[in-house]
Structure 1
C-alpha cells in the first residue's frame, strides 16, 4: 500500500479500512507501534493524530534495523460481549521495482516476494500491560484456544517486509502465523530468497561465511552498484545467487537463490578462495578483545583447521590476524585522527591532566604528551622525588618511540607519571618531553633523575631542570663496560662499590677493581664520574633507585600494546593506571599499620636478624653492635 509522507491520520485510517475490508459501523481500528532503539524496545505507542503518523513515517525511513511494524487492531463495537481484537502487522519498506518520490509503501502487491497467509490472530486488547519485548499475546478463550502468536524479541529484530493477509471471513481454525524473516547477522548461516541486507558489503560477508561453513567455493559472475551475481566455481553446477539493490536505498535483496550443489566434491579445496584474510579476520576478531591477548598465527592455523577444515599457511594466518586487529582497534591512520579528541576528553574528564599535541609544518603528527592529574598530584604530595626516564620503540608500521617518566611509591611499586610518543630518541624529542614534564610537575625540591647515559637526556635535563641531580643507571654502566672492555670479571666489586653508603667502604671495593683492571677503573673515574654511579659520591638522594628498572618493567607491561594504534596505546596506559590506583587505594585502606606492606616486611627481616646481636654504646651518638 502506497502512502504519501504528508498523509493525515484520518486518511490513513480510511485506507486501512479499505485494505482490510472492515465495516466502519461495526469495527474500530486501533493503531499501535513499538519503536526499537538499539537491541531493546519501548512500550507500545498509540497513533492517534497527525503528528504520530508523521513521526512514524519519518522513523521507518531510516536503516532497516530501526524499522518497526504498524500493528492494526480491529475492535468490534459490541458493548455486551467480551472484547476481542484481531491484529494485523503491516511491515514497511521502500518499493522494490517502481521508483517513488517522497512516498512510503506498505507493500501488499509485490509479486517477487512469496507471501504466506495466516488466519486471524486473537489477542487481549490490553496494551498497557504489553511488555516491551512482545507484540502479541494469546487470548485464553474458547474462540482462540491453542492459537500461537508471533513475538518480537531481541534475536529477531530485522524482518522481511510482509503484510499478514486476512484469511477467510469467519474462519476460527487454529493456525500459526508463518512469517518469512531475514537476518543479516553473520552468526546466522542460512540464506534464502527475500532476505534483505543493510548493504552490499554485508551481503558479501554473509555469503563468504556461508561458503566457509558449507565448504564450497563460488565466483562472482557479475558485480555492479545495483546487482551482485555469484555462481559455483564448477561451471556445470547449478548453485547460484542473484541479489539486487533496492531503489532509493543501499540495501540489497536476494532475488534468486538455488542452494543445491550438483558439482563433484573434487572441485572443493581445503584452502578455498572464500577463506580470505578479511573474512577470517571477522571470524577471529573476538579473540583480540581485552588486554594483552596473545593469539598467535599458529593458533589461528590450528583453530581454522579444527573448526572449518580450512588449511592455511603461517603467512596467511598472520594477515588474518592483522585484519582482526584492524577491526577491533582500527588502523594507525584512523587512530591518529582520533588522537586530538582523545586528549581533549582526557583533560575534560580527568581534572589536572596535562596533554599536548604538536604538529609539524605540514600539519602532520610530530609529538604528543600525556600526564594524568592523579599521577601529578600523587607525585608532588607523596612520592619520593626520584624520577626514572627511559624510552622504548613502538612496533606499529608507523614506528615511533614512547618516552616515559616513572617513580616508585612507598610499597616499591611502579608509579607512572608521564608519557610521550615521539619519532625517536634525539635532542629535540627529549627536550620536548622534559619541557612538558616540567610544565606538568613544576618545581620540585631535591629532584633526582635516573637514566641511561644517553647524551640527549643529559642535555635536555640541563636546559629544563638545571637544579635537579642526574644519576646514571648502574646496570647500563655495567653493560657499557662489558661492551667496551669485553669482560665481566669486575661485576661483583662494581655493584658493591655502587651501593656503598660510606666513601671509605666505596674505596675499599674500588681498589679491588683497580687491581683487577686499571683501564676499567680509569673509565669509571674519569669518563663516567663517581658522582654519576656511586651512591656515596652522589650529591642528592637516590634512595634505593640505582637503576631504571621500574621504567624497564613498565615497558614489559605495555609490550603487547606497543604494537597497537596510538590512541589505543594511550587508552591502554590510562586504563592500566586506573586499575592499579584503585587496587592500591583499596589495599592501603585495609592496612592496619602506619607503614607500607613492603617496608613492614623489610623491617621484620632486620628485626629477626638482630635477635642475636648485642649493642654496646661507644659514644653519645654511636653504638657498636656485636654478633
Structure 2
C-alpha cells in the first residue's frame, strides 16, 4: 500500500517504544532519523520527526529512568561506588527547598557534586605533574556545567582524574572543585595546573590559601584557548601560528611565555 506519511492514530507511542527499545539500549544517543527509519522498516509507516523525538525520549526514560529519577538515585549510586571501590572520593552539596518562603522539611536538591574514581586517583600517581582543568556546559532539562581534570601518563595517554557537576563556572563552584581536587587527588606539590583564562578560576586559586599558589603549584594558561582567542581577535593566521609555537616551545619557562602572550593583547 506504500508508505503512510501522516501520523497513524492507532500506532501509539508504547508500540513504537517497544520496537526501538533494543536500539536505545545499545546506543542512547541514537539519532532521531534512525528511529524514523526503524519504524518505517517495521511498520511500513513514516512517523513525523516530532513524534519520533518524543518516542525516543520515552524509550530512554523507560530503559534508564527519567531525569528526576536519575538525580534522585545519584547519591545512592555514589554511595555504592565508594563501598564497592574503596578509595573513591565523593563530596555532595545540597540546598534546602522553600515553598512560599517556608523550608520544606526533609527535601533537599542537588547543588554541586565532586567525585573521583579510585582507579583514576591511583593512576595520577604515575602521571606527569601538569593537570588541566576544563568545563563543558550541560544542556537538556537540567542546566549546569561538567568540570573535568585530566593528566597525561608516560605514553602520552590522557587520564581523567576528577569530575564535578556544578551550576556554572563561577568562582564559588571552582573553589569547591579545586579544594576537593587538592584534598583528595592532587595531593603532591611541584605540580602545574593548566586552564583557560576564565576569571573565575583565577579567583578560585586566589582564595585557596596558597594550596594552588607558587611554590606548591604553577598556574599556566592553555595554549589552545589562547590561540583561539588570539585568532578571533586579530584574524591573523600567520601570527596565530607563531603564538602557538611559542606557547608549546620546550622551554623550562614555557608557562611564562603563555602568561606573557595571554596578556599581550589585553
Query: TM-score by structure 2 length?
Result: 0.83
Question: What is the aligned partner in structure 1 of residue 156 from structure 2?
Answer: 412
**Hey, what's the Cα distance between the residues in 1 that align with 2:197 and 2:241?**
21
Match of 1:289, SS state, is helix
Specify whether residues 471 and 276 from structure 1 end up closer, same or farther in structure 2 by C-alpha distance, changes over 3 A only: same
Structure 2 spans left out of the alignment, 5+ residues: 98-107
Question: What is the aligned partner in structure 1 of residue 36 from structure 2?
Answer: 301
**Hey, what's the Cα distance between the residues in 1 that align with 2:42 and 2:245?**
58
Question: What is the aligned partner in structure 2 of residue 373 from structure 1?
Answer: 118
Matches within 5 A, 1:210-249: none
**Hey, what's the Cα distance between the residues in 1 that align with 2:206 and 2:145?**
22
**Hey, what's the Cα distance between the residues in 2 that align with 1:335 and 1:355?**
17
- 1:313 matched to 2:58? The reply is no
Over alpha carbons, which structure has the higher Rg? 1
**Hey, what's the Cα distance between the residues in 2 that align with 1:435 and 1:459?**
13
- 1:395 matched to 2:131? The reply is no
Question: What is the aligned partner in structure 2 of residue 470 from structure 1?
Answer: 219
Question: What is the aligned partner in structure 2 of residue 481 from structure 1?
Answer: 230
Specify whether residues 493 and 272 from structure 1 end up closer, same or farther in structure 2 by C-alpha distance, changes over 3 A only: closer
> Aligned residues, how many?
244
Specify whether residues 525 and 460 from structure 1 end up closer, same or farther in structure 2 by C-alpha distance, changes over 3 A only: closer
Question: What is the aligned partner in structure 2 of residue 272 from structure 1?
Answer: 8
Question: What is the aligned partner in structure 2 of residue 500 from structure 1?
Answer: 249
Q: Contact 2:224/2:244 (CA < 8 Å) preserved in 1?
A: no
Matches within 5 A, 1:328-407: 328-362=63-97, 363-379=108-124, 381-407=125-151
Shift of 1:524: 4.6
Q: Contact 1:360/1:366 (CA < 8 Å) preserved in 2?
A: yes
Specify whether residues 463 and 443 from structure 1 end up closer, same or farther in structure 2 by C-alpha distance, changes over 3 A only: farther
Q: Indicate the RMSD between aligned Cα atoms, in angstroms.
A: 2.5
2:203 maps to which of 434, 443, 459? 459
Greater relative contact order, per chain length (Cα 8 Å cut-off, separation 6+): 2
Shift of 1:280: 1.3
Q: Contact 2:6/2:48 (CA < 8 Å) preserved in 1?
A: no
Shift of 1:270: 6.3
**Hey, what's the Cα distance between the residues in 1 that align with 2:191 and 2:19?**
52
Structure 1 spans left out of the alignment, 5+ residues: 1-264, 504-509, 511-521, 529-627
Q: Contact 1:355/1:369 (CA < 8 Å) preserved in 2?
A: yes
Shift of 1:304: 1.4
Q: Contact 1:282/1:327 (CA < 8 Å) preserved in 2?
A: no
Q: Which has the higher strand share?
A: 2
Q: Which has the higher helix share?
A: 2
